[in-house]
Amino acid sequence: MRAVSVESFWERRTPIRSLRPWFFLVLSLLVVDQLTKIATIDLLSLGSGIEITPFFNFVHVRNPGAAFSFLADASGWQRWFFSGLALVVSAWLGFMIWQSPDDKLFCVAASLMMSGALGNLIDRVVHGEVIDFLDFHWAGWHWPAFNVADSAITVGAVLFVWVEILRYRKAKANSLDHEHPPQP
């Protein structure tokens, strides 16, 4: 994780054009996520599904909780909790992109996570719950249904971990170079 001082925050002048690719990625994935959810609502009644392949169904389910229906049975407070969390996380990710627009791999990861958080936020605000429609299964075992936003969050999180592993390795290699400088 990178530390940002208050001075560097106020002195930073990131040109808007350097942020465009990242926010275009966020907006593009957000549009795809919402269009797929609109199609799901239009094509399937709640609780119904269509078998596409022996391991994949197109379904229409709702999730008032978080990943894997965590807190789905809570009394309703989770809608606003997860909505607030999505706003805070999206603002933080936007700030991190603004701080490092040239760190391409990091910005892709942050953009993916931001688009997913905002996609599910829209569902929570508009519908009170998240619309899921991708149902993968095998031999009677079903993975919990998910959507494009969930996929973006997952891929972004994995990529984020990868970025941090690469940073750690680079920092470790640099520290070893300083401890044992080459001998003439």
* DSSP track, 114-156: HHHHHHHHHHHHHHSSEEEEEEEEETTEEPPPB-HHHHHHHHH
The mean per-residue pLDDT over the stretch 118-134 comes to 95
Placement of tokens 């936020």 in the chain: 121
Q: What is the rounded average pLDDT of the residues 133-155?
A: 95
**Is 42 a residue of the active site?**
no
- Taking 80 as the threshold, does the pLDDT of residue 84 lie above it? yes
Write down the pLDDT at residue 26. Answer: 97
pLDDT > 70: what percent of the chain? 82
Contact 57, 135 (CB under 8 A): yes
Per-residue CA distances from 139 to 52, 57, 58, 171 (Å)? 15, 14, 17, 45
Residue of 123, 132, 135, 177 with catalytic role: 132
For the chain, counts of helices (H) and of strands (E): 5, 4
- Range with the lowest mean pLDDT among 60-69, 119-128, 143-152? 60-69
Comparing 11-15, 132-136, 158-162, 163-167, the range with the smallest average pLDDT is 11-15
Strand partners, 50: 58
Does residue 163 contact residue 109 with C-beta atoms inside 8 Å? Answer: yes
Q: Does 39 score more than 90 pLDDT?
A: yes
- Is residue 102 part of the annotated active site? The answer reads no
Instruction: Give the integer Cα–Cα distance in Å for 90 and 52.
Output: 34
Q: Cα separation of 72 and 49, whole Å?
A: 21
Options 33, 123, 135, 150, the catalytic residue: 150
